[in-house]
Each structure stands twice: as C-alpha cells, then as structure tokens.
Chains A and B, each alone.
Chain A
Amino acid sequence: MSSMRTSNITKDTLRKMFLEGKRFDGRGMFDLKNFEVEYDVSYKAEGSARVRMGKTDVVVGVKMQLEEPYPDSPNKGNLMVSGDLLPLASPRFESGPPRFNAIELPRLIDRMIRESGMIDLSKLCIREGELVWTVMIDIYPINDDGALIDAASIGAVAALHNTVIPGIKEDRADYVNRTKDKLPLSDETIPITFTFYKLGSSLVLSPTREEEEACDAKITWGISKWNGKHMLNSCQKGEEIPFKKEEIIKIVETLPKLYDDTLKKLKKFLK
C-alpha cells in the first residue's frame, strides 16, 4: 500500500482544506516542520550532520581531498555536491541510473552554497594552479516524508559548520592527523532553501509526503544574508504547472522573515 500514489480523494480533500488554510497536522500554510540537527553521523567524515524535519530524515557528510584546481579558478578550492535518493528511504525511490529528482537535489544545494559565498574557497588553496582542497558534500535521505530539499539544505550547512580540515602529508590528505581548523565559513552568510508547493490556488510550505504528492507545482528559493541584506541565491521552479506573478511575489515577500526565524532555530544547533 505504501507505494500507492496519493488518491484523488486525498487530493480533493487537501484542496478543500488548503482553501480554508487547514492542514492534517494542524500547521499553518507557511509553517515549517519542526527540525533538529545531530552531528557525528560518521567519524570517518570530515564533517557530518543528520537532520530530522518532521518525519523526513537526511544525513549529510563532508569529505575533503587534495586535488588540482579547476583551470578557471587556479587559486580556489573545489566544491562538489552529490547524493542519491536511496531506495532505503522511500518506496518511491528506485535503484539504477539517477532519475531527475536525484540529479536536481544536489544541484540545488550546490547552487545555494556556491552562490551565497558561505565558503571562502580562496582560503582552500595550498599551491596556486597545483594543489587545492576539494570539499565534497554528499546527501542521502534516510526517510523521505516531503520537503526533502529544505531538510537537505539545513543538513549541508550544518555539516559544513561541523567540518574539520584533515592534515597534509606529502601533498595528500592525512585523515589520521587532522588539524584543528574549521572550514573558512562566513559568520554572516548561512543559506537555507525554502520550497513552496502549489495545489489549485493554494500555496503551502514544508509539505508532508502526502501533501507534496497532491501538489501540482513547486518552487525552491535559496536565501541568505550578505552585507546586512537578504539575498536570494538560487531558484528553481519544478513540476508541470506554472506560477502566476502574484504568487511568486507573495512567496518572495514571505522569505526574509521566514529565513530570519528559521536561522534563529538553526543557529542553536550550529557548532
């Protein structure tokens, strides 16, 4: 039964409830699910975090290794985000070559992190043009109950804040004798994504799996602060139904306060 898609009856019920601003779990339409962050998923990782957001559960690990820089950024470290939608986490995830959602998730997190500038990649250069740190972030859901991207964004940021740089021995990473150094992260710029979903004319944030599957459209925004100002860093519209201009503007207007409130909660967990 668990693999069945949301029935039309559920969809109709949700459509009516959303119009009245009601949800099965009693939250308001733009209320984020509660979340908590744990660390030390794996002591072998340079940094790691586990985020439980409602029943959605995601682990994120950071590994670092020494590599050549990219030709267009010889004096900067490299950033790589990947991950997989493990069949472990949902009856809807299947083994085999990555489907679109599995490609999209890490790319959205990559863009949020990269464009916000939260990591000062120029401080991860060892020898210009020759040797730099590559920061590899891997994201794996353990249980997907909706709003996976938003939980993953919090997990990625927490794991980066938790990362300790390895030592260096003969131009290779020394994972036994680690430094005590953290990554060169901005104190101010801490990006988070918020994904809004649409069913009929209703907009809803942080859906459960059931709500998410009933919805027809979604839009993800990455937001952070930079020089005292809120900045949108990334955006991606998904699913088949378009958004109207007033819907986009309404969503964007809620973002700064939503970000400030969520950041306050997140900061309690950041080490």
Chain B
Amino acid sequence: MALKRKNGRKLDELRPMSAEVGIIPNADGSAMFVFGKTVAIAAVYGPRMLHPQHMQNPETGILRVNYDLLSFSVEDRKKPGPSRRSQEISKVTELALLPAVDINEFKNTVIDVQIYILQANAGTRTAGINAASMALANAGIPMKSLITSVAVGKLDKELVLDVDDEEEHFEEGEGSTDFPIAKIYGTDEYSLMQMDGKLPPEMIPKALDMADEAFEKIYEVQKNALKSYVSGEDVK
C-alpha cells in the first residue's frame, strides 16, 4: 500500500521551488533558493587575493565555502558561530561545488562562497548548494555546469523526494531516512552524497533515479532565475 504523505505531496513531488539571482548588490554573485519553507541565500566574493599570503596556492585558485544557520532560522535559537555540524556541511558543500568550477587559472586567489539559511524546514544543505551554484554562475566563475541538489528521503519503506521538517521526524516502521545528493547537471558526476537512517542497499539505484528526475526540475528553476536576471539587466 502506497504511503500517503501528510503534506499531500506525491512520493516524487518536490516542494514548491523558487529562486532569484542578484539579491546582494555588494557580492560578485548572489542568489536565493527556496524549497517550500526552507530559504537559503548565497553570496560569492572573488576571485580575490587570498590572505594570509601563506595560504595562497600558486598552482590554482581556492574555493572556500561557509554554510551556517542564522540564529532565528530554527526553533531553538542557534548559538551564532560555527558548530561541528555547520563546519561539516561547509566542507561537504565545498566538495559538492568544486568539481563544477574551473578555477585553476585564478592562481593565488580565493573564491569565497557564503551560504546562510534564513528559515530552516529540512533540506537546508541542498537548498544552500542550489543557491551557491547560481551565485557562482552569477559571479561569472567558469563552470562546467550548474550543480543541482536534493534529498531523497524514505518514510517507513517508501522512497520520497525532498522531505520537510515534519517528515524528518517520522518514526513509524523503518522511520525517516535522509539521503542528500548533489550532481553536476548534465554529467554522471555525483559530488555530494550523505545519508542517515535505514535504507536497504537494493533501493539505492531507485533513489538515485528519483534524484536524477528531481535534478531536471531544479535545473529549470535555476536556469530560469539566471535567465530572467540577465534579461532584466538588458532592460536597464
């Protein structure tokens, strides 16, 4: 028997998405990405000279990612400043973005990507990656393609897409599983993969297929936001 999602979504239905580019005038590139009630904003600064100098790499540019939750984005106020969780997400986000950007020519420089969550309702790292990907493109950083990201979930025995906060606390049967994935769009390269929960190994191929279908939809949202930013600029 198929599982009914409390929020009324179909198993493979994403939350409503929206995206906007160029939201932070000071940044070289910026974007917002929304999955339902989860809102992520990202800014890109650079390439710029990396200080302290001893951290510079004469062979390539460096990508440096910082992800964090704003203190009021969650129910129990988050103490400002990096936590182990945010440090881990910053690093895996950096690794998710890095294979898509071509920064070898920007020697000795750094490209800083700052991601903040205004409102957290599950899927913050995936929304953050989608926003950062657009912000990098907006900053004119040479890229192979956009990076698209979504979490496949599992509620009891059923795979679902893009779980929200309430679903993340689902405890019946096999409980709730979270399987965030990122892919360089249009390639066969999965650059982020994390998971916690209970997922039978034989369900992995189907979970990846579900993510692939979601990436098509996410890419459309990203592309349209970038396009409307560019055409908006033409009008000015």
> How many whole Å from B64's CB to the nearest CB in chain A?
12
Q: Is the CB of A233 within 8 A of B197?
A: yes
Q: Is the CB of A219 within 8 A of B193?
A: yes
Verify if A9 is at the interface (C-beta below 8 Å from B): no
Chain B, 196-222, CB within 8 A of any chain A CB: 196-201, 204-205, 208
Q: How far is the CA of A230 from the CA of B203 in the complex (A)?
A: 11
Q: Is the CB of B194 within 8 A of A232?
A: no
Q: Is the CB of B204 within 8 A of A111?
A: no
Q: Which of B19-27, B49-57, B91-99, B227-235 contacts A (4 or more CB under 8 A)?
A: B91-99
Q: How far is the CA of A246 from the CA of B205 in the complex (A)?
A: 9
Q: Which residues of B contact A114 (CB under 8 A)?
A: 196
Q: Which residues of B contact A104 (CB under 8 A)?
A: 88, 91
> How many whole Å from A16's CB to the nearest CB in chain B?
24
**A positions within 8 Å CB-CB of B:** 71, 100, 103-104, 107, 111, 114-116, 219, 223, 226, 229-246, 248-249, 252-253, 255-256
Task: Give the interface residue-count category, chain B.
Answer: 20 to 34
Q: Which residues of A contact B199 (CB under 8 A)?
A: 231-233
Known A107-B84, A238-B95; contact A245-B188, beta-carbon cutoff 8 A? yes
Q: How far is the CA of A245 from the CA of B212 in the complex (A)?
A: 10
Q: Is the CB of A115 within 8 A of B197?
A: yes
Verify if B45 is at the interface (C-beta below 8 Å from A): no
**B positions within 8 Å CB-CB of A:** 76, 84, 87-88, 91-92, 95, 98-99, 174, 179, 183-184, 187-201, 204-205, 208
Closest 7 CB pairs of A and B: A235-B195, A242-B189, A237-B193, A242-B191, A231-B198, A232-B199, A115-B196
Q: How far is the CA of A236 from the CA of B87 in the complex (A)?
A: 14
Residue of B nearest to A236 (CB): B194
Q: How far is the CA of A58 from the CA of B184 in the complex (A)?
A: 36
Q: How far is the CA of A243 from the CA of B160 in the complex (A)?
A: 23
Q: Which residues of B contact A223 (CB under 8 A)?
A: 201
